[in-house]
Structure 1
Amino acid sequence: MELRPGLSALVTGGASGIGRALVLALAQKGVFVTVVDFSQDKGEQVASLAEKEVSKFHSRLEFAPALFIKCDVTDSNELTAAFENHVKTYGGLDICINCAGIATPVPFYQDKTDGAKSWRRAVDVNFVAVIDSTRLAIRAMQEAKRPAVIINVGSASGLYPMYPDPIYSGSKGGVVLFTRSLAPYKRQGIRINVLCPEVNFSSGRYFGGGNKDISSLLPFDAGFEGVGIIAAIGDSVKHLKVGTPAAIMTFGSYAEFTTYQGEQGWKPRAYTGLCEKILAKSQTVAGFFLVQYAHLWQQHLDKLVDLYSSGKLKVAVDPKPFLGIRSVADAVDYLHSGKSVGKVVVCIDPTFGHHPAKL
């Protein structure tokens, strides 16, 4: 769907985090937005910002260009009223983004309560409310009989296990399969997708401790981002430049050196948790982490290093040379051709210039 002035969107959880960013991004395209959230102060603030943006595209409106509706998404009556209010104000619904989500305050196995205010509440907000909101959105879109979009915000932890919070992971996993099962609605002109973010630049990017406590340990406020330099760009990329720094939102990435704040300031040091980082990256397609066997894996890694150092273990690298970022695509083709020994190496040319990637 092409975003254009005059369309309307309803965003649950729109007062903070990803939801807030999406509300403002839609408003900057001239889309009328309804912010549905439980937080009145934050919700009214976001709606006010959105109203200013939308007003740039429209004049002399007889209705508010942006609305805030305080709503507990787990209350079906309140949620239904929010959708009815939106449709009554804007004459239909073109975009629905279900972004409301919470984590559990304590691990469910340590919870001494019935879970009504903890893990049951998380399941209701993260999954049940998404089902209810999707149901209401489909109904409104079917009545309008025009192309529409529903985006359910899941999580990377809905694709792979998240051991610190299995309730969050399980509920987001439900969102993923629920949404994928709605693909047939595309025949009716309603496209329903699930978005599964990893770590992102929002208030939820810190996994432990207070924001100030964690950010003080970073050279800049990066959350759990990796930072690299753009080495090459494709022909279709218009907004990035070679040589500029970029944040890489990848959870479980690792490098030989990690920079952290020590007594001597910011000095690159060998990170003692490198094996743990590699283990986190060893996740399989099935979503199984080897991290449960970290101690055994590290022992075997030590044995491999000893065998290689003594010359008993040989590592074969394909002799075919690949030089520079531009040769990456050729290296991949060669690897898949079956002619290689199973491992190819691309050497980065130190004289590398600003050449677009062959992708």
Structure 2
Amino acid sequence: MTDQLSGQTAIVTGASSGNGRAIAKTFAEEGAAVVCADIIEDPREGGYEDKSELTTHDLIQENGGDAVFVECDVTDREQIRSAIDTAVDEFGQLDIMVNNAGIFTRLVDITETTQEEWHKTIEVNLTGVWNGTKEAVEQFVEQGNGGKVVNIASIGGLVGLQAEPAYSASKGGVVNFTRATALDCAPHEINVNAVCPGWISTAMTREYFDDDEFWEQLSESTPWPRLGVPQDVADACLILAGPYAEWITGHALTVDGGYTTR
């Protein structure tokens, strides 16, 4: 590791499992103090985590890093604000905000999608990113020394994915919200970027990865000779949150093994 985040503080929402856990762990390995924000502490059942008996913040501490957990529902701006206050109180200031928390209900076309599924998906995946970005940017402006926001979108925000109308709409919103917010934040030297993962092996996608037919179809559609893992997403986030991304803003970085290049 290169300690490229040494002395910085990051908040990662949805940090207990999957992509969020990998992001938090990677940032800590690179020297950042991490506030692990999630609605639950323990990894979700059905995931692929190493040492799943440990919470993310315990795992980071076991490895010699600095981390704390805060309970946080990203649909509630007050809880986001509380997470930021924790970062400032515990570690001095906030430098990086990763809006990772999200949901995926099921593969279903628009005729079967319920209004409840639509509203819940938009509330968590898009409004949650709005809440996290707005509160973080206000903190960055108050601090006066810039900052970095990384929003987790999806390839579903770049291309149409069959049987994912609500999810694709929410993630498309994240991509364009990222671009627009980057324009607002550039004068303050605040970078706002997005990562757009393809299919990644997490608890959220487990039922599909365990389906042999679906796995085969997905593998055939992915040019790279393997499917994605959370570390792929974490590494992309590290690029956008690190010192080499100073002049990168408003970018949507695709991490999908070439899935969307066809």
Q: TM-score, with normalisation over the residues of structure 1?
A: 0.55
Q: What residue identity is the alignment partner of 2:195?
A: L
For the residue of structure 1 that corresponds to 2:159, the secondary structure is coil
Q: Does 1:53 align with 2:52?
A: no
Shift of 1:190: 0.7
Following superposition of structure 1 onto structure 2, how do residues 95-114 of structure 1 map, counting pairs within 5 Å? Answer: 95-105=96-106, 107=109, 109-111=111-113, 114=115
After alignment, is 178-187 or 89-98 more displaced?
178-187
Output one character per residue of 1:207-266: Cα deviation in whole Å (capped at 9) or x when no partner: xx4544439977xxx79754559xxxxxxxxxxxxxxxxxx823268xxxxxxxxxxxxx
* Structure 2 counterpart of 1:175, one-letter code: V
SS class of match (2:187): helix
Q: What does residue range 234-253 of structure 1 map to in structure 2 within 5 Å?
A: 249-251=257-259
Structure with greater helix share of residues: 2
Q: Is the Cα–Cα contact under 8 Å of residues 205 and 223 in structure 1 kept in the other structure?
A: no
Find the aligned partners of 1:72 and 1:225 in 2 and give their Cα distance: 33
Q: How many residues align?
A: 220
Distance 1:6 1:223, change over 3 A: farther
The whole-number CA distance in structure 1 between the counterparts of 2:104 and 2:205 is 12
CA contact (8 A) 1:27 1:51 kept: no
CA 1:252/1:148 → structure 2, altered by over 3 Å: closer, same or farther? Answer: closer
User: 1:4 offset after TM fit, Å?
Assistant: 3.0
Return structure 1 stretches of 4+ with deviation > 6 angstroms. 215-218
Task: Give the whole-Å Cα distance in 2 for the aligned partners of 1:39 and 1:89.
Answer: 20
- The amino acid that maps onto 2:187 is R
Counterpart in the other structure of 1:170? 169
Q: Deviations over 1:151-193 (max 9, x none)?
A: 0111111011112111100110111111101223122121111
Q: Which amino acid aligns with 1:103?
A: F
8 Å CA contact retained: 1:199, 1:249: no
Equivalent residue, structure 1, for 2:128:
129
Q: Which amino acid aligns with 2:112?
A: Q
Measure the CA separation in 1 of the matches of 2:6 and 2:157.
33
Q: Secondary structure at the match of 1:110?
A: coil
Deviation at 1:34, TM superposition (A): 0.6
Deviations 1:41-71 (A, max 9, x none): 229711111223343xxxxxxxxx2011122
Tell me what 1:30 maps to.
31
Residues 9, 96 of structure 1: 8 Å contact kept: yes
Per-residue deviation, 1:201: 4.2
Q: How far 1:103 moved relative to its partner? A: 1.4
**Distance across 1 between alignment mates of 2:8 and 2:179:** 25
Partner of 2:13: 12
Runs of 5+ unmatched residues, structure 1 = 56-64, 230-247, 254-280, 282-359
With over 3 angstroms needed to count, the CA separation of the structure-2 counterparts of 1:200 and 1:250, relative to structure 1, is: farther
Q: Say what the alpha-carbon RMSD is for the aligned residues.
A: 3.0
Per the alignment, residue 72 of structure 2 pairs with: 71
Tell me the SS of whatever aligns to 1:3: coil
Paired amino acid for 1:249: G
Q: Give the CA deviation at 1:98.
A: 0.4
SS at match of 1:192: strand
8 Å Cα contact 2:151-2:195 kept in structure 1: yes
- 2:251 paired residue number: none
Matched with 2:200 is 200
CA gap of 1:109–1:223, structure 2 versus 1, over 3 A, is same
Deviations 1:126-153 (A, max 9, x none): 0011011100000111122113110011
Matches within 5 A, 1:110-189: 110-111=112-113, 114-115=115-116, 118-184=117-183, 185-189=185-189
Please say if residues 98 and 152 of structure 1, whose CA atoms lie closer than 8 Å, have aligned partners that are also in contact: yes
Q: Tell me how far apart the structure 1 counterparts of residues 103 and 28 of structure 2 sit (CA, whole Å).
A: 25
Structure-1 separation of matches of 2:13 and 2:186: 22
Q: 1:223 to 1:93 in 2, by over 3 A?
A: farther
- C-alpha distance in 1, partners of 2:186/2:204? 32
Shift of 1:18: 1.5
Matches within 5 A, 1:321-340: none
